Amino acid sequence: MKAVLTGNQAIARGFYEAGGLIAASYPGSPTVEIMETLKEYDEIYAEFATNEKVALEVAIGGSLYGARSMASMKHVGVNIAMDPLMSFTQSPINGGFVLVTGDDPGMASSQNEQDNRIIGKFANMGIFYPGTSQEAKDFMKTALELSEKFKTPMMVDITSRVCHSRGIVELGDREEVKPKGFTRDQEKYTMLPPHNFKAQHFMKERIKDLEEYAYDASFNILEEVEGSDTLIVTSGLMYYNLKELNLSVSIYKLGMVYPISIRRMRELSHKYKNIIVIEEMMPFIENELKLMGIDCKGKEYFSFTGELFTEDIEEGLHRAGIVKDRKYADIKPVNTVNRPPMFCAGCPHRPVFDILKKLNVTVIGDIGCYSMAVLPQWKASHVMYSMGATVGITKGMNKAMRKNGDKKPLVSVIGDGTFFHSGLPGFVDLIHQADEEDNMTFIILDNRTTAMTGGQHNASSGRYNQADDMHVDIKALLKSMGIENVQEVDQFQYKKARDIIRQATKEKGISVIITTRPCALKYKIKEPHFYVDPEVCIGCRTCVKVNCPPIKMKKYEGIDELKSSIDPDACVGCSVCSQVCPVGAIKRSQ
Amino acid sequence: MNKNIMLAGVGGQGLVLATKIISEAAFRAGYDVKTNDVIGLSQRGGRVWGSVRIGEKVYSPNIPPKEGDILIGLEPLEAYRWSHIMRDGGHIILNTRQVYPSPVLLEEQEYPTDEIEALKDRYNIVKMDAIEEARLAGNIKAANTVLIGMLAKLLDIPLDIWEETIRENVPSKAVDVNIEAFYRGYNYI
């Protein structure tokens, strides 16, 4: 049987068919859908954990017991999970273990462009690199088998295009693999000296064995063209983008990009005059070949950042002298008005950032939908790096300001998902060496879901949604840490929320404000829409500046000046625009 | 049949489901198919795009420049933005309903109405207010199904396969509205 699957769905299918039992993840684009698909299989224990570190640890536990296990996460998620990863991979693997990581060349939905093949190598893992949905499924199965055969942890590194791309996949049945059970063995599973001394040698041998296996493994495909003096070494989607050019050159397509067979590459290097490596992001394969002493070229012709499309490959190969006549030489992309993302109609973040913008305070942001407060139409958030980082950064900047005699307030914003993911340790640290001159206001945007990635549950969403089983009370949790000044506010009561936030920034000390409105995408607001009375509207644009999709200036018949207007099809009736209007021109329709 | 279909729209318009329906219909009709859609940060009112490539053998899900056969514009500005991927004389199926981006809402830039109008000089363009047409079918949420109906007229895929695919991919209580919306589009061209 065949089906059309995305790369993400195919990863999940591969794990299912291979008898996978334990799977954990933390939602992050581009890999969210893997876990959402896994949750549909009754045979598999699948969870979205609090963060990637916990997810990886759940998978490690499963593997130690001998169950086929996996963890999936976006590329930066692996940074969170690095500590257990780097120690665990020293052990001989019991149940097949795969870390699936979603890289994001071009950064369509990420804060950086790190190339996790480097982490895979750093952590002594073999790395598969699929280019289609079929490969995603096949490589997942092979990775689990090799993991057990070589007692090695494996990485499946899949790029965002391949995660979201759909293709036809041949489906197979599930083969049950019974867990082998856990056998106590300090030498294997307790990484203290001297056990970890031996582990270093074990890992080295393990990679060597895998490297030898790669020589004629079926997942590495050699396509030789009679008479070609050029060999292109590539992997993943780059192979398929290259094939679009229909060139008469030999290709070595690596299904497994690490380790690469030295024997195979040496043989090939004797046969071919030019070896060209095509890969997105870092020169990973290129560097591996160069370490083997193989003369090759890659990043000399291809960008180290962004995606490489067929036209980019053509251009690089043209510069390399392989392509003579370019088909795609004169591409002129249309240069027109940009469309940055926006907070949804009814989004509970809108009034908060409108208030902060008007207060003109420095805001240290974090990762979530509220990251969009950094966009040009807002510029209401001024620092943004990584999950949970706002808390410590705010504390540090606050301390530096006080040392410098700077008395201005600092505001930190963090969502509920991010709070639990990695904001918690920062909050625990807050009252340590607190000073009476501190002035920090923490706004926890508790929208009851992990919204940016599609509305997954988190540790407090059960308080709002009975289908979720975790009910952590953020306010009680903060109080138990010794943070006393914690208030809850309904931000759709705009003036009250504004007064509370303003007061908090004026007071010294540590204030926490929890905003209580849920995500408007997950918990839809269905109130009668609002409309503008053009006779009352003074055209001040205060409502337009709250940047809500249905609100725009419009020409009304018989009125010279532009007046505001609201698209009734898109308005959900949240009322924020009517509350910021200084003249009461915005009215509810019923 | 070899067809490269580009879809362009605004986050939240349902582009991902549209690419899914088109690709499944093509698969059921016996073609090789690959699709692409960009999701993530862009789903919140940002620009989104997708591609569906149908043929005997499809390598990359990405449509190379100037090789697009059909462009479905869920929104006019987004159709214009992606028009460079189309071959001259290719088909553009255009939902005329404008969604202003932030720079236009904030009166910093003009909506490129003239440029969108000029698309007809290079491409074979069919326009429709798909939201209004879907409202007539019973629900404005079926707007994309109207556009899929228009697309179906340009593809060699039997109608019963389209019907079956739509049935399996829309909420059960919305099946009739979507089938109606599909034929409103199909019969429009």
Taking CA–CA distances from A160, the nearest residue in chain B reads: B38
Q: What pLDDT score was predicted for residue A362?
A: 98
CB B111 to CB A165 under 8 A?
Answer: no
Q: Which amino acid is at A68?
A: R
Query: Which CATH number belongs to the domain containing residue B19 in this structure?
Result: 3.40.920.10
Q: What is the pLDDT of residues B107-156, one digit of tens each?
A: 999 999 999 999 999 999 999 999 999 999 999 999 999 999 999 999 99
Taking CA–CA distances from A343, the nearest residue in chain B reads: B44
Chain A nearest C-alpha distance from B27 (Å): 7
Going by pLDDT thresholds of 50, 70 and 90, the confidence category of residue B41 is low
CB A553 to CB B101 under 8 A?
Answer: no
Q: What is the pLDDT of residues A554-579, one digit of tens each?
A: 999 999 999 999 999 899 999 999 99
Contacts of A493 (CB under 8 A, 6+ apart): none
CB B77 to CB A336 under 8 A?
Answer: yes
Please tell me if residue A164 touches chain B, with a CB cutoff of 8 Å.
Answer: yes
Residue in B33, B45, B83 closest to A344 by CB: B45
Please tell me if residue A243 touches chain B, with a CB cutoff of 8 Å.
Answer: yes
| Beta-strand relationship, A250-254 and A230-235 | parallel
Chain A CB contacts of B99 under 8 Å are: 549
Residues of chain A with pLDDT under 70: none
Chain B CB contacts of A4 under 8 Å are: 20, 23-24, 27, 33, 35
d(CA A445, CA B152): 45
Please tell me if residue A8 touches chain B, with a CB cutoff of 8 Å.
Answer: no
Contacts of A550 (CB under 8 A, 6+ apart): A345, A566, A567, A568, A569, A570, A571
Q: What pLDDT score was predicted for residue B42?
A: 55
**List of domains in chain A:** 2-213 (3.40.50.970), 221-319 (3.40.50.920), 349-515 (3.40.50.970), 530-588 (3.30.70.20)
**How many cross-chain Cβ pairs, A to B, lie less than 8 Å apart?**
153
Best of B24, B41, B57, B58 to substitute, by most chain A Cβ atoms within 10 angstroms, is B41
Q: What pLDDT score was predicted for residue B43?
A: 61
Q: What pLDDT score was predicted for residue A332?
A: 87
What is the average pLDDT value for chain B, to the nearest integer? 95
Chain A nearest C-alpha distance from B168 (Å): 14
Residue B90 in contact with residue B124, Cβ under 8 Å? Answer: yes
Chain A nearest C-alpha distance from B49 (Å): 12
Containing A275, the helix (H) or strand (E) segment is strand A274-278
Instruction: Scan for tokens 């591969």, then name that residue.
Output: A14
In sequence order, the β-bridge partners of residue A100 are A72, A156
C-alpha separations of A292 from A125, A301, A541, B175 in Å: 19, 21, 64, 60
C-alpha separations of A504 from A408, A411, A487 in Å: 12, 9, 10
Taking CA–CA distances from A371, the nearest residue in chain B reads: B41
Considering its fold, how many domains does chain B have in total? 1
Q: What pLDDT score was predicted for residue B39?
A: 66
Query: How many Å from the N-terminal Cα to the C-terminal Cα in chain B?
Result: 20
Q: How many helices (H) and strands (E) does chain B have?
A: 8, 6
Q: Which domain holds residue B176?
A: 3-186
Question: Is this complex scored with an ipTM above 0.90?
Answer: yes
Residue in A334, A338, A549 closest to B80 by CB: A334
DSSP code, position B20: H
Q: What pLDDT score was predicted for residue B44?
A: 79
CB B61 to CB A165 under 8 A?
Answer: yes
Taking CA–CA distances from A372, the nearest residue in chain B reads: B41
| pTM, 2 dp | 0.97
Longest dimension (CA), chain A: 87
Q: List the Cα angle A288/A85/A387 in 5-degree steps.
A: 100
Chain A CB contacts of B102 under 8 Å are: 339-340, 342, 375-377, 547
